[in-house]
Structure 1
Amino acid sequence: MTKTQLRRIPAYAFLSLAVFLSVFPLYFMAVSATNTSNEVVASKLLPGSHLVENFQTLVDSQPLWSALYHSSVNAILTTLLALILCSIAGYAFEIYHSRAKDAVMGILLLAIMIPFAATMIPLFRLFAQLGMVNSTFAVIVPLIATPFLILLFRQASRTFPHEIIEAARLDGLGEVSIFSRIYLPTMKPTLAAAGVITFLFSWNNFLWPKVILVDNAYQTLPMLLSNMRAGYVTDYGSLMLAVFIVSVPTMVVFLLLQRHFAEGVTGAIK
């Protein structure tokens, strides 16, 4: 073994430990979904034979399919609307640059500092007066135009050459065509990064849906997990299976878009 390889041993050991600490919770979650409640409490690390029983218990005791449907609708609609609105806003802030827009952007950035708990009660009263409690609209509206995503698209737009826009205008293209046919195709990494961030946040969002969705018939998957822990007796086998089901879509989305996600974030930072 050469000296260079010996010097790399501590780095490899550290990386191996980091991988283990990252993967082990996922492994334990998947294994626990196949074990009984007592075996989960005892921290059994080998797969069991109670996956079907845990799934049947979960379906019989909780509205799994309804919660899955509402979570999927909320996350998909929130992601699509956020990408449309925030990409348009980021494009407008940079391409049609002015001092007034800089002032507005500064106000939006200050809004990031305000915790959501401070605006939650006014938002609830607003939607209650509009009669939109227990509605998908009330769940997704506060998430579709966030200052962070607008800033992300604005930073990405700074690398977009303005000469292309001028040439397209001379060729007779309208602003909508320039945005949809020229600008958006070059923003695929940023769209992927914004899509992953929005989908993960919307899918895992618990506090606001818990407040605005008063009727349990409209509950989402994070609310379902909370209700499973609210009783006197918790079936940890079915609970871990529910956690695994909740985690799968987020892992799939991230794995499919991870390359574009990294490129989009680093491109926006530049």
Structure 2
Amino acid sequence: MKNFSKIFKYIFLSIAAFISVFPFFWMLLGVTNKTSDIISGKFMIGGEFATNIKNLFSSDLNFTRSLGNSAVIAILTTIFALLLSSAAGYGFEIYRSKDHERIFTILLLSMMVPFSAMMIPLYRMFSKLSGTPFGINTIFAVIIPSVSTAFLIFFFRQNMKAFPISLVEAARIDGLGEFSIFTKIYMPTAKNSYAAAAIITFMGSWNGYLWPLVVLQSPEKRTVPLVLSAMGASYTPDYGMMMTGIVITTLPIAILFFVMQKQFVQGMLGSVKG
């Protein structure tokens, strides 16, 4: 009976793994085939990879520029989000008071509000900043709503619970300022938390679609998800080119995760333990 249970477990896990991996495998095959072969369900490696690459980077959609736009937005969003959200999470945990707890509770309640409900107020706010670096059709209009989220602040506060407060008290006795305590003591010890938050933030920004679609109105400022969407919206979509674009778009996220997966797991476990 024990052996049967083990066999059933491995069969179930194998089926689940196949279902999870199959779309990626199909996507990689699509990179090497033309549209007609993909539509017909050809399940073999083709010889159209070079053609698909050429069509992707020579199309009028300017895929290369969109990669640069997405990279700039994702990197800046990640940097600002880590700095602001970690400082907020640190402050909520170190400087406790009844008022802080009320503010934190309201902050958590804001997670229940769908982003689609905030789009119109956000759009009106940024439209009033037109003509400035923070107005509509600028990268900062995409970045600013994502630099301080309730989830990240909650994430850093939970990780902060595992941080020894005695280090902060000892540093204060030694005459170290609050900013120096945060940058020189807390940040180096919270590398795993920063790694996990960096992956989550970068992935969310890189894959962002709805808000960039609303804010970025010039074709030359479009991000990768917008360009991929435009590829599929044509009357005769080139699925081989689309598959190639999707694979190239997936690579930065995959590389980032595999490089930092150990820190990601430890950072998430630290949040759960907190």
Change in CA separation of 1:7 and 1:110 when aligned onto 2, cut-off 3 Å: closer
Give, in whole Å, the separation in 2 of the partners of 1:59 and 1:167.
Answer: 57
Letter in 1 for 2:15: L
Give, in whole Å, the separation in 2 of the partners of 1:43 and 1:225.
Answer: 21
Give, in whole Å, the separation in 2 of the partners of 1:92 and 1:43.
Answer: 55
2:48 is the counterpart of 1:60: no
Aligned 1:44-59 pairs, distance under 5 A: 44-59=42-57
Give the TM-score normalised by structure 1.
Answer: 0.96
Summarize deviations over 1:182-223 as a string: whole Å, max 9, x none. Answer: 111121111111111101100000000000001111000000
Summarize deviations over 1:14-35 as a string: whole Å, max 9, x none. Answer: 1111221121111111110110
Give, in whole Å, the separation in 2 of the partners of 1:7 and 1:60.
Answer: 54
Residue number in structure 1 paired with 2:14 = 16
**Identity of counterpart residues, as a percentage?**
44
Letter in 1 for 2:52: N
Letter in 1 for 2:21: V
2:219 is the counterpart of 1:219: no
Give, in whole Å, the separation in 1 of the partners of 2:194 and 2:251.
Answer: 22
Letter in 2 for 1:24: F
Residue number in structure 2 paired with 1:34 = 32
Give, in whole Å, the separation in 2 of the partners of 1:171 and 1:248.
Answer: 47
Shift of 1:85: 0.3
Shift of 1:5: 4.4
Residue number in structure 2 paired with 1:117 = 116
Residue number in structure 1 paired with 2:41 = 43
Match of 1:266 among 265, 269, 272: 269
Pairwise CA RMSD: 1.1
Q: Match of 1:214, SS?
A: coil
2:206 is the counterpart of 1:189: no
Give, in whole Å, the separation in 1 of the partners of 2:181 and 2:10.
Answer: 49
Number of equivalences: 268
Give the TM-score normalised by structure 2.
Answer: 0.95
Shift of 1:7: 3.6
Letter in 2 for 1:63: N
Give, in whole Å, the separation in 2 of the partners of 1:222 and 1:130.
Answer: 25
Summarize deviations over 1:77-130 as a string: whole Å, max 9, x none. Answer: 000100000000000000111111101101111111111111101111111110
Letter in 2 for 1:148: F
Aligned 1:151-230 pairs, distance under 5 A: 151-230=154-233
